[in-house]
Amino acid sequence: MVAGKNVLLGVSGGIAVYKAVALTSKLTQQGANVRVMMTPSSTEFVSPLTFQAISRNAVYVDTFDEKDPSKIAHIDVADWADIAIIAPATANIIGKIANGIADDMLSTTLLATSADVYVAPAMNVHMYAHPAVISNMKQLEEWGYHFIEPGDGYLACGYVGKGRLEEPEEIISVIKNHQSIDLTLKDKRVLISAGPTREQIDPVRFFTNRSSGKMGFALAEAAAKRGADVTLVAGPTEIEASQNTIKRVDVTTAEEMYDAMHEHFPESDIVIKAAAVADYRPKLIAHEKMKKQEDDLHIEMERTKDILQSLGGIKTDQYLVGFAAETSTPLEYGLQKLKKKNLDGIVINNVSTEGAGFGGDTNIVTYVNKHQRKEEIALASKQEIAEEILTFIDQDMKDEAQ
């Protein structure tokens, strides 16, 4: 999946630059057309001539070194690239991109490209764990950048730990696997719900839950990347979808989410209800702020409409998937939900397990289809889990069609 591709290799200044030389060689051997772009500090470790000799292409370092007057070099390269790889990616270059800084040729080009960007970090173990670096990486991940995690091992600074640039063979393997994802959902209409709901008590108070919406948004973005026509019904959340092709419908209450899901359900092929919807709401809403009293406060609650069960009762050809976020015997409750609500599949997780709770960037889930086939997905990012879930759904639909 790299043969014949135009690959921009961005090299930033760290001792791991020598591995970028090997990466250039292996990409070239596999048929990729590689252009290397170096930060000035990276040239202190390896000469541009080395990369030129291996890639058989001119190496870019200086934004203002315009070799061809008919083109603006950094824009030309940004448009040319099918894939961009930053290896090694230092804390500095990660910080620049995450904050929109363009003060050298590499950072400027990365802001201008629409290619898939793969980031392979390499830095001291404590730098890699610094809150600023973590925040910058999360920002880039939200924007659709792909990270190739550094390995554990002996670092040039003398520390042993996470921060070593991944080996060139593994970098290429990760990119190949990602690039091999074809448009399996092209022409499919996918409806996804995400986030929490809010049920008003009075003008200043409401009931809600801990859902961040990250899992639902990850599913929407993964489906869009696979070519689907995606509608995302989102409860109150600060997350923004990185794929601008996603049609977003913002709602607040369980009733509004019910209406939105039912409005778009008939035209959908795949429906995934990942939202954490309130089961109850206040029976009466105060129109003025409720004042503190001496006695205890009792709020009478009433059931909200069960969105998933109602969709299961009217579905025709839709592939309907629910989520079961539990804290005890999750598999048992999940299987009951699968059958009771007439689902085609269910994603089950124990939110009390470390790494699988609300608001985090990772999850641990079990996917079960209506034929009771179970697929375990170990601790992984929500983006990776979203890809796995869509793969299971796609395979199920193909099996049903046979």
Separation of alpha carbons 170 and 176, rounded Å: 10
Separation of alpha carbons 212 and 116, rounded Å: 26
CA dist 31 → 7, 28, 51, 81, 347 (Å): 10, 5, 16, 15, 40
Separation of alpha carbons 87 and 54, rounded Å: 16
Catalytic residue among 75, 156, 157, 378: 157
Separation of alpha carbons 141 and 41, rounded Å: 25
Query: Residue 13 carries which side chain, given as an amino acid letter?
Result: G
Q: Which tokens sit at 54? A: 């291996």
Q: Which tokens sit at 367? A: 């996917």
State yes or no: is 147 an active-site residue.
Answer: no
Residue with tokens 């994603």: 347
Q: What angle is formed at CA 327 by the lines to CA 323 and CA 332, rounded to 5 degrees?
A: 65
Q: Which tokens sit at 211? A: 């859902």
Query: Using an 8 Å Cβ cutoff, are 152 and 164 in contact?
Result: yes
Q: Which tokens sit at 261? A: 């899901």
- Residue 158 contacts by C-beta under 8 Å, 6 or more apart in sequence? none
Active-site positions read 157
